[in-house]
Structure 1
């Protein structure tokens, strides 16, 4: 994965009409994301749902608050889709939706789905999408813990830890 994000005019545009990208305060729907990634040409649709856990590093969590620099985050989403298509040209659909605002335990914070003729490519592309998003997107979360403390964390800082 890249250590930094570079953009060109070609990568700043939505890659395909059928793709879907969003940053929203509204709750995310697995069913909606699946349907957006579905296509009669697909043999597989792989989805990844990130949810708010009950603890971080053993510390009980009350909730998380997400913020994003939306214009740049959308550009990162477009770039991810372009990179997916460059590496897995058979991909038919890429869907990346991230929620912002305050989320309670169990709520969905991010949904990624990839539709493709073959499952192996769909799995690989979906994993690439979420890993690259976590590394490159300007999205931050504030963790609120039961002990009354809180802390802002770039989701990119979570790359080295499976606890994020």
Structure 2
């Protein structure tokens, strides 16, 4: 299930829905929730504005989820990603993966969030409390971490 929306989400409800769909076959469920945090050292974040490419964004996230399912034995992952104006400490993204075993659930969840950060077409503009605005640039470390998933190892980034 992939949802890209402006509205906030309820992580507990999304988790319960995934458990219901897994119908008692999942021995593990791993989730991740990302929040708006301060990026600048000397000023607080006032607003993080996320733009996305509708249609393409959902397709890319679904491709990421399909890849995770093909690599690890999981049930259909849940990804909810918000767009629009988000304020400090608000939820941005939710990823949940259920599996018969914890290892697959952990690896698939980590892969999905890593790939989302570098492959999903989102653009982030931050406004600081002092009014300064800038586009958030992708970090080299994030791109390098995502690339490690493409190495033919046991499915764990090095």
TM-score (norm 1): 0.79
Alignment equivalent of 1:63, drawn from 47, 50, 53? 47
Please say if residues 69 and 76 of structure 2, whose CA atoms lie closer than 8 Å, have aligned partners that are also in contact.
no
Instruction: Name segments (4+ residues, structure 1) moved above 6 Å.
Output: none
1:37 alignment counterpart: 18
Aligned counterpart, 2:127: 144
Contact 2:99 2:105 in 1 (8 A): yes
SS at match of 1:78: helix
SS at match of 1:148: coil
What 5-or-longer segments of structure 2 have no aligned partner?
143-158
- Closer/same/farther in 2, CA of residues 47 and 159 from structure 1, 3 Å limit: farther
Is the CA contact 1:36–1:95 (under 8 Å) kept in the aligned structure 2?
A: no
2:52–2:83 Cα contact (<8 Å) kept: yes
Gaps of 5+ in 1: 1-19
User: How far 1:109 moved relative to its partner?
Assistant: 0.4
Are the aligned partners of 1:51 and 1:108 in contact in 2 as well (CA < 8 Å)? yes
- For the structure 1 residues 159 and 34, does the alpha-carbon distance in structure 2 shift closer, same or farther, using more than 3 Å as the test? farther
Q: Which has the higher strand share?
A: 1
**Aligned runs of 1:1-164 on 2, under 5 Å?**
20-38=1-19, 39=22, 40-53=24-37, 55-58=38-41, 59-88=43-72, 90-153=73-136, 157-158=138-139, 160=141
Once residues 13 and 98 of structure 2 are traced to their aligned partners in structure 1, the CA distance between those partners, rounded to angstroms, is 14
Residues paired across the two proteins, number? 138
Q: State TM-score, norm by structure 2.
A: 0.82
